[in-house]
Structure 1
Amino acid sequence: MPVIFTHTHRAPSWLPNGHFQSIYPSLFRKITDVAYSREKIRTPDDDFLNLDWARTSQAAKGLVILSHGLEGDSQRQYILGMVRGLTRHGYDCLAWNYRSCGGEMNQQLRFYHSGATDDLDFVIQYARQKGYKTLHLMGFSLGGNLTLKYLGEQGNALTPEIKKAVVFSVPMDLLACSRAIEKPENILYLRRFLSSLKPKVSAKAKLFPDKISLETYAQVKTFYDFDHLYTAALHGFAGADDYYTRNSARFFVQDISIPTLIVNALNDPLVPPDSLPQKEINQLKHVWLELTEAGGHCGFRPQRVVDGLYWSEQRALNFLDSSEI
């Protein structure tokens, strides 16, 4: 579908650029009225995933399965805000936590990564057993890439209950985005991610001392280094370049078979606009790429917040509820 340049989102004047628009919601948006019910499920390789359920008080229109971003979890404001909006408007929600996320270290050597669609499929198939006839997928940042890759892999064989997908702030070219985070203006994001990942590597090294070494972490100066030394090695890839090539959503979107909306901000500090496959998406039947001038990375705070909804949350509701597709 043609790439959409939308003007319906306007950031507040006191959030003047993509950095402020990304950081402000993360630090200052507090959502305390989402009530989750947690369920732990066992995976086929004898590990576990923590699922957080939130249900509407109405007759559910369907279930939305939400995938969070890098080093995130079901408690991040962009997940909580979306869950609150969805449940208030008639959708049940399942916000799942990746392996090692959600406050509990997983048991196997592997962590999670941008293309670990086996876990997403396992969650989807588990949710199907609950009897839902309508499922929608939603992802943010890394979770957006994961969602798009999954949809492309499945193609026309996609589970028939899955009707639509919406993703935000998606790093569709993992190499380009890994290099973008190395820029001097993005050093705070890089330090934050690496400082979050190091304790996990340390915990894994204690559990599997013969397979993973914390000493190697001294070589990690960039996100590319981390993916080359740890992500690739622990998940069966030849190195960072192999991992990025085999898991970037830009190589899978052409096979998506259901209505799918991708929303990215042109001022996203972590996802360069030229890393998005705009020309390719222009030729696709089922995929829309909507670009906003502002919004940052998983931000999208509007000038005026109505009913507690950020612009991204209202946009997702409009897309899921629309029958004109």
Structure 2
Amino acid sequence: MPILESTYNPPYIFRNYHISTIYAAKLRSVKAVPQTRERLQLEDGDFMDIDWSYASSCSSNKVLVVLHGLDGNAQRPYVLGLAHYFNHHGWDVAAINFRGCSGEINNLYRSYNAGASEDLNHVVTSILSIKKYESLAINGFSLGGNLLLKYLGEGNNLPKELKAGVAISAPCDLHASLKKLDEGRNWIYSKRFVMQLKKQLFLREKHFPEEITKEQIDKCTNLYAIDQLYTSQAHGFADALEYYEKSSAMSFIPTIHIPTLLINAKNDGFLSENSSPKEIAQNNPDFYLETPEYGGHVGFLQKKEATYTEERALEFITSHL
């Protein structure tokens, strides 16, 4: 029955959902992380960029793969903070930039989505073929957390080096969580996502004018419309609803068979209630669920440099090596 009691007790100001979410995303200061970029060529002619940082004290036989969220990249504070913390504790870190997220548009019309586990599988396989790490773990945030959970539970031939996974603030039911994000109290986040994603679509239209038009992009006023116009069509789904159904981690969590921790805050306004599946945790001995009262969306700040989830990720992964 791996439902875990949370010990996260934040400073009073960070008990506010909005303050925790916005401060972590925009105001948190993290120490500089020296990164080396490696371009990974994909079998379909596209590429992904990996930003590597290395254990500070010695050559490491352990590597953490980090997956960012929607409209994110490997330079976001939540990625850099985690990389710094794991580097300091003897881990190399491979921070992934999904297709089109490293500051350069990717080669294909398609980019990334919450269910593109084939790309994660390729990353893991490539890393282990380049360096013979004894242990590999994966930490995914938000959209990247959903992607990780899907990858772990969909029947891939997982390598023996893959020891554990950690998902933070993961929208395990994509459609239900999108509806939450459309609620009035989340208008500032929803509006920002739409603005940023449309900016990327306008850039994509310049490179692929035969696939999408400015007029179509202009008509998108919410995330569902963007998924209907682009995300679903560019990635082989009939429509947005099929994309949500086939990509949501909820269907795959019951068949996860390596130690996996999901931390979703109860006050995370981005997530539907069923994104924290207690019944599945009670029935799957390899799936651990922790639902702190506070934390917002990818927040979990403390009165110290590291976040609560950075500490918990290292603790959980280390306990399963």
TM-score interval (norm. to shorter): over 0.9
Per the alignment, residue 47 of structure 2 pairs with 48
Per the alignment, residue 319 of structure 1 pairs with 316
Could you say what secondary structure the match of 1:95 adopts?
A: strand
C-alpha separation in 2, matches of 1:281 and 1:213: 44
C-alpha separation in 1, matches of 2:59 and 2:204: 43
**TM-score calculated relative to the size of structure 2:** 0.96
C-alpha separation in 1, matches of 2:46 and 2:108: 6
Instruction: Give the AA of the match of 2:94.
Output: L
The answer on 1:221 being equivalent to 2:218 is no
Per the alignment, residue 37 of structure 2 pairs with 38
Per the alignment, residue 146 of structure 2 pairs with 145
Instruction: Give the AA of the match of 1:174.
Output: L
Q: Determine if contact 1:266/1:272 at 8 Å carries over to the other structure.
A: no
1:1-325 paired onto structure 2 within 5 Å: 1-6=1-6, 8-56=7-55, 57-129=57-129, 130-154=131-155, 157-302=157-302, 304-305=303-304, 308-323=305-320
Instruction: Give the AA of the match of 1:316.
Output: A
Q: Determine if contact 1:42/1:49 at 8 Å carries over to the other structure.
A: yes
Deviations for 1:25-61, whole angstroms, at most 9, x for unmatched residues?
Answer: 2121122420001011211111111110011022425
1:12, CA displacement in angstroms? 1.4
Matched residue count: 319
Q: 165-174 or 223-232, which moves further after superposition?
A: 223-232
C-alpha separation in 2, matches of 1:16 and 1:314: 19
Q: Determine if contact 1:11/1:21 at 8 Å carries over to the other structure.
A: no
**TM-score calculated relative to the size of structure 1:** 0.95
C-alpha separation in 1, matches of 2:163 and 2:301: 27
C-alpha separation in 1, matches of 2:200 and 2:300: 30
Q: Determine if contact 2:71/2:101 at 8 Å carries over to the other structure.
A: yes
Q: Which runs of at least 4 in structure 1 moved beyond 6 Å after TM superposition?
A: none
Could you say what secondary structure the match of 2:291 adopts?
A: strand
What CA RMSD, in Å, does the superposition of the two structures yield over aligned residues?
1.4
C-alpha separation in 1, matches of 2:151 and 2:222: 27
Deviations for 1:64-93, whole angstroms, at most 9, x for unmatched residues?
Answer: 100000010001111101000001001110
C-alpha separation in 2, matches of 1:15 and 1:292: 13
C-alpha separation in 2, matches of 1:184 and 1:205: 30
Instruction: Give the AA of the match of 2:147.
Output: L
Could you say what secondary structure the match of 1:237 adopts?
A: coil
Could you say what secondary structure the match of 2:51 adopts?
A: strand
User: Which 5+ residue runs of structure 2 have no aligned equivalent?
Assistant: none
C-alpha separation in 2, matches of 1:268 and 1:126: 34
Q: Determine if contact 2:134/2:161 at 8 Å carries over to the other structure.
A: yes
C-alpha distance 275-309 of structure 1, shift in aligned 2 (>3 A) = closer
1:3, CA displacement in angstroms? 2.1
User: Which 5+ residue runs of structure 1 have no aligned equivalent?
Assistant: none
Deviations for 1:188-225, whole angstroms, at most 9, x for unmatched residues?
Answer: 11111111111211121111111112211233122111
Instruction: Give the AA of the match of 2:319.
Output: S
C-alpha separation in 1, matches of 2:14 and 2:154: 38
C-alpha separation in 2, matches of 1:25 and 1:276: 21
1:148, CA displacement in angstroms? 0.5
